[in-house]
Amino acid sequence: MKKIALLLVIAIVAISCKNNDEYTITGTIAGMKSGNVYLEKQSENGMGTVAIDTVKVVDGKFEIKGKSLEPSIHFIQVDSLQGKVPFILENGDIAITVDKDSIFKSKMSGTYSNDEFYAFNEKLGKLQKKSQAKIMKFQEDNMAKMNEAQQKNDTVVMNSLRNEFKALRAESTNYMNNYPKEHPKSFISVLLVENMLNNPDVKVADAEKIFNSLEESLRKSA
């Protein structure tokens, strides 16, 4: 009995070490028997992506293994499919289900960051869809007015239209800005804080305060 218990402990430790020291991406692509899959990362200059690994699709499945120093955004690119599947590369078992008919409906799961990433995208997508019709109508109704205001340098009209537009996107914007406060351990929070710094409506001091509330490992990430 003691020997069996010892073997179970050894097996659990071995699995833990595997998850901590390397990643295994298990992918499925329904309806695709063969092809190539590329694991890509953003290029050093931030313009486009570069492939760091290539594997074959066999009977609609593929597997990629390696090691990651820290979580980072990567992409899955599949031969003949338009678009890339973004996910968070980190050590652990990652499952990616590629939707070849609608790449944006692909799903990533298995590790904390990817479960969070998928849930975040699902919620944000619903909020954006909710306001999409109103935004499109606003743009159709006010495009000519905005162009005229820009030609005349009418800042009063331009600011008024911008404020109306921001109000239509407020629910999505608030969700993204509040997410890091509620998820200090999620890698997505780092990306959202970075996004805040590109938003002129967000004060740098406010973004810095949120950044400093994140888990230390995230604050020290590249």
**Domains annotated on the chain, with CATH:** 2-109 (2.60.40.1120), 117-219 (no CATH)
Q: What percent of the chain has pLDDT over 70?
A: 91
In the predicted model, what is the mean pLDDT of the chain?
Answer: 86
* pLDDT of 15 higher than 50: no
Mean pLDDT for 179-200 is 92
Mean pLDDT for 82-100 is 94
* pLDDT of 62 higher than 60: yes
Q: Which of 39-43, 103-107, 147-151, 205-209 has the lowest mean pLDDT?
A: 147-151
Mean pLDDT for 35-55 is 90
The model's confidence at residue 206, banded by pLDDT at 50, 70 and 90, is: very high
Tell me whether residue 27 is exposed, middle or buried, using C-beta atoms within 10 angstroms of its C-beta: 0 to 12, 13 to 18, 19 or more: buried
The pLDDT assigned to 17 comes to: 46
The pLDDT assigned to 8 comes to: 44
pTM flag (> 0.75)? yes
Tell me whether residue 68 is exposed, middle or buried, using C-beta atoms within 10 angstroms of its C-beta: 0 to 12, 13 to 18, 19 or more: middle
Single out the residue of 195, 183, 185 nearest to residue 221, CA to CA: 185
213's CB contacts (< 8 A; 6+ apart) are 180, 181, 184
The pLDDT assigned to 200 comes to: 85
Q: Which of 5-14, 56-65, 67-76, 136-145 has the lowest mean pLDDT?
A: 5-14
Please answer whether residues 174 and 159 qualify as being in contact, where contact means their C-beta atoms are separated by less than 8 angstroms: no
From the centroid of its chain, how far is CA 179? Answer: 13
* 132-184 confidence digits (pLDDT tens): 888 888 888 878 888 888 888 888 888 888 888 878 778 888 899 999 999 99
Residue that is written with structure tokens 């509620």 in the block: 182
The pLDDT assigned to 142 comes to: 79
The pLDDT assigned to 16 comes to: 45
82 SS3 class: coil
The pLDDT assigned to 149 comes to: 80
Pairing of strands 23-29, 92-98: parallel
Sign (positive or negative) of CA dihedral 182, 183, 184, 188 = negative
* 115-124 confidence digits (pLDDT tens): 999 999 999 9
Residue that is written with structure tokens 């905005």 in the block: 146
